Every structure is written in structure tokens, then in C-alpha cells.
Chains A and B, each alone.
Chain A
Amino acid sequence: MVRWILAAAAAMMLTTGMAVAQQGPLHIELDEGVIEPLPYALPTFVDEGAGSMASQITRVIADDLSGTGLFREIPEGAHIQRFGSFDTPVSYADWQAINAQALIVGSVGMSGGKVVVKFRLFDVYGNAQLGDGQQLAASSQSWRRLAHKVADVIYSRITGETGYFDSRVVYVSESGPKDQRQKRLAIMDYDGENVNYLTDSSAIVLAPRFSPQGDRILYTTFETGFPRIKMMSVGNASGKLLPETPGTMTFSPRFSPDGSSIVYSLEQNGNTDLYSMSVSGGGSQRLTNSPAIETAPSYSPDGSQIVFESDRSGSQQIYVMSASGGEPVRISNGDGRYGTPVWSPRGDLIAFTKQSGGRFFIGVMRTDGSEERDLTASYLDEGPTWSPNGRVIMFTRESPGAAGAAKMFTVDITGRNLKAVAGVGGASDPTWGPLLP
């Protein structure tokens, strides 16, 4: 009999599950770069009264896992053993015979109006279950989140790192030709599902940014006729404009890691510098004071530093300074112009946009500028954002010419597994939110 525990307990239990993730030989070491995806079997979850939801949830789990490029699903038609019930004993030899390294067995039922998913992960060659079985439940409208949660647990147990599937992305939905582009704020699941629009297209909106908790969004809007920063709460799309000095332009905002303050660009008399203020709109503080353009600031995960771009050297380059201002240190040193730096949630890397030779690149470098690597190249790539675990980058790719359109793409930080976010149409300026509780 299922005993129901509240939501807060669910997160705790999931964490407990992760503690055993690194035991056993079934493991992917992400730092080594994965060339050959790990083969896994995911028999359609046993239907215990949830109807087609059992197969739908199974497919989302498979899409999550295979979508990473780290795992390869063995089609169900090749499976030898069939599971009539969730508790059918695993016949390891049957799964070894088809070279499955991981096996995921589950069931989907209904209880008290909720969808209930149970699953177990098996290390086929270790002849053993990996970690405890788990059970999750949610309202039927949230069935996709249940699937993402299961995939996050499996990803975590095999890689030893937290997953990123149960997360959302705020972005700018685009429609119309390049010279009459309409833009509106939208939010989606990380995989492009469950799109909701947060504004209409009556004013240009740019570069939305999630708060660290994912409950608020900062963005730039032209609704007054001039670029201004607005903050909205995700659950209530009304929002409020942040205070500004008349005659100035404010844009490029980002939250501090503790969510208490905002760093942003302010333009006055043609000159753009960095400022910070509290989220309540008070305590405005000037952080840079130069005749150059300083913009695109991003905090380090511990909140002590800010990475940003400046053309004080004569061209756009990336600099790091204390979060309270002071003398910045230039970290970008390659050929080309560097902009839109974003500190990774793990703290180890900075993602950036680079322009060189008439092309755009998304790349990563260490926080001292060393070990620069380009991950993508095209006519126009820009605006990287990190997955919550710092393993994947989403960005905007605009295609050239009158018929050109913006799309969001993902790539992992080894440069592999480049692919478009499907199903959302024209879209730009993604910001990946935190893993949901």
C-alpha cells in the first residue's frame, strides 16, 4: 500500500537515491567525454491502470536519456524477456544476450487521483539492481515531470552527477520575417514541451533571465518605447518595471546567485556601464566607470565575482572583476571578439559568444581564460545558457537572409550532440532555469 508523503520529502528521498549512484560497474565518466553511448533497455512500463500514460511516460524517459547522446536505447522489438508485472524477477542473461548494459523496469498506475510511477534500475552485467527502487506520484497533468524525474534519477545513478531533465527554459518566441519580427516571452520544459506565453508581442522583449530559484524573470522590454528592465513572477505574469534615471536606457539584467540583487547595464549619453541594485529596486551602485561599452554581466556561482564584456581594449573582450566593482582582469585572449560570457553553475567554466572571420562561435574557457574551446560555429550563434548541472549549453542560432529565423540549439560541453530544440518554432535568448524541486 502506498503511503503519501509531502513534496518536501520527495526531494530529500531523491537525494538519498543519488548517494548510491556511483557504486557498481555501470557508470559513465562525463569528464572523459563519451563517444560510444551506453546501450540500455527500457521495456514499456507495466500498465497498472494508467492506460496509455504508461507508454507515454516510458517514451519521455527514453527521449530524455537518448537525447543526451550518452545513452542508446535498444529497441523493444529486440528484447527477449517480457515483464508481466513490476515484480517479475530479472533474467540477466536475456539482457546480456542483447548487450544491454542498463535495464530500467517500471510501472504506471493511478492512486487517489494521482499518477504513480515505480521503477528500478539494473546493472545487467553486474547481475544486480543499482540503487533502490523508487516511487513517484503527481497529478495527471504533470505526467511529463514524473518521466523527467525518473530520467534524472537514472542519469544521476549512472553518471554520478545531477540531471537536468525536470527543468524549464524561459526564452523569446519569434514570428514574422527578419524586418518585421514579433517577439514575446515564453516558457517551456527543457525539451520544448508545455510552452506558455508570458507576454504578448506588442513590444520588443529581449533576453529573459531566471532567478536562481526559477520563480522570477528579469527581462528587457520596449513597452515604454525605450529599453527598460522588468521583473515578473513566473506564477503571475504582470510584473513591474525597475526604477531608472530619466533619459537613460537599462538592459542586460541578471540575478545574483542568492536572488537578492541584480546586475545590469545602464546607458547614459551614449556610454554603457555596469550597475547593481537590490531586487526591490533600491541601492543602485555603479560598478564600472569607463567610456567603453560594458555589458552582458554574469555572477560567479558564489556571488563574489562578475564576468562581463567590454570593448575598452578596442574590441569586445571578456573581463572578470569583484562583484562590488574594482579593476577588472581581461581573460579572453584569442583571435576575434568575445561577448555574452556566462559563468557555469559548477563554477569551473565560462561560456561565451565569439565572432571571428565573419562567423560566430559558442565556446567555453576556464575562468582564467585558459583552455578555450569552440563548441559550435555558424553564420550567427549567440547567447549561451547552462543546463542546471553545467554539462549542456543552449543557445540561439539565427540563419541568414530574408528567410532567416532564430532557433534554439543545445550542445554538450565536449562539443558533441548538437541539436535543435524541437517544436517551438522561432525562438531566441534561452535561459535555462534550475532543476525543479
Chain B
Amino acid sequence: MHLATKAVLGLALMALAACNNPSKNGANGVVDPGGAYGDAGGVSQGSINDPNSPAYFSGKVGDTVHFVVDQSTLTDEARATLSGQAQWLSSHGNYAAIIEGHADEQGTREYNLALGARRASSVQQYLISQGVPANRLRTVSYGKERPIATCAEESCFAQNRRAVTVISVGAGS
């Protein structure tokens, strides 16, 4: 009995070196908001009691609005918070903002990225309608990649369906 196939498999070894550390600098020179947890894009926060500080914006004005399931329309509560944000941004022209849109995990990854973008855009449009110059606002969606609450219940999902206005340096591009 003969062996029909006599062959060498040329198996190229793959050079799979880990890539270099990608730059953490964003397109506008803004520090990657996804690169750090719990801070606001590398901007000095200042004191929550100083009305001119980003810490005051996030702590007193309120940097976060929430959404109902699979929606991007703003609730009355969200509009009230955003009016405060618009006032603060209008009187602090030296700051720009990145609006981060987020979704809960009850959705597919791609859809949630698009849904987070819708939410961020709703906030952006509202802030613009309240007089914040468009060139000081950028949006980004994290989809379901950055939950802040981890339980598998509506109480956590509700916290994760959010848009966060993150103060950054510079008056926009």
C-alpha cells in the first residue's frame, strides 16, 4: 500500500509582537476619556465649592443625565440638568466638553454604540439650543463598554443609560 500524499506543509510562523502603546492623546489634544476611570479627561478638577471649577460642574451642576430603555429623548429632569450645564458652559468659555453617551448591557454591542451616540447627540443639540457654541462640544459613544453599575437589574441598567458631560481643556477646535 502506498501513501498518496507526500507533502510538506510550509507553515509560516507568525510574528505576533504586541503593538506599541497607542497614543492616549485624542484628536483635539484631549486626553482619552476612556483611558482613565472616574476622572474627567485629565482636567484639573479644583474644589467642588469653587463655582468656576470642573468639580463644581460635575458635583453641583450635575454632569449626568439618564434615559429610558432604548430611548434618546430627554426627560424633563434631564432638560433641567442640561440647562444648568449650558449656563455654566456659557459663562466659562475657556472650557470645552466631550459628551459621552452610554447604554446598558441589554443590547448588542454595535447597536449600543449607535444608541450611545444618539444620546450624546441629544445632549449636544440641547446644549447648542441653550446657547453653547457647537465648536466647544464633541460627542463620543461608549455603548455598553463602560457601565458604572454592575448588577443585572433595572436599578443598575437605569444608572448605565446615561450621557455624561466631561469638561476638557481648550475652547474647542
Contacts and interface: CB of A to CB of B under 8 A. Distances in A.
B118 A270 contact: yes
Interface string B117-139: 11011101100000000000011
A269 interface: yes
Contacts of B54: none
A340 B7 CA distance: 41
B111 to A, nearest CB: 5
B159 to A, nearest CB: 11
Interface in B1-29: 1-27
B74 interface: no
Interface string B87-125: 000000000001000000111111101110110111011
Interface in A259-316: 265, 267, 269-272, 293, 295-296, 309, 311, 315-316
Contacts of B15: 235-236
Given A204-B145, A206-B145, A223-B22, A340 B108 contact: yes
Contact of A5 (B7, B14, B118): B7
Contacts of B8: 4-7, 10, 114, 137-138
Contacts of A270: 72, 117-118, 120-122, 124-125, 139
Contacts of B139: 249, 270
A178 B10 CA distance: 42
A202 B108 CA distance: 23
Q: Number of contact residues on B: which range applies? A: 35 or more
A247 interface: yes
Interface string A176-218: 0111110100010000000011111011101100000000000
B140 A226 contact: yes
A353 interface: yes
B158 interface: no
B114 A179 contact: no
Interface in B21-63: 21-27, 30-35, 37
Interface in A112-143: 114, 118, 120, 129, 132-139, 141-142
Interface of A: 2-7, 9-10, 13-14, 16-17, 87, 114, 118, 120, 129, 132-139, 141-142, 145-146, 149, 177-181, 183, 187, 196-200, 202-204, 206-207, 220-227, 232, 234-239, 246-247, 249, 251-252, 265, 267, 269-272, 293, 295-296, 309, 311, 315-316, 339-340, 353, 355, 358, 379-380, 382-383, 398, 400-402, 404, 429
24 contacts: A5-B8, A10-B7, A10-B8, A129-B1, A133-B1, A135-B5, A179-B149, A179-B150, A181-B145, A187-B16, A202-B22, A204-B142, A206-B109, A224-B23, A224-B27, A225-B24, A225-B27, A247-B138, A249-B117, A265-B113, A267-B113, A267-B114, A271-B118, A309-B111
Interface of B: 1-27, 30-35, 37, 70, 72, 98, 105-111, 113-115, 117-118, 120-122, 124-125, 138-142, 145-152
The 5 A-B pairs with the shortest beta carbon distances in the complex, nearest first, are A270-B121, A7-B10, A225-B26, A400-B152, A132-B4
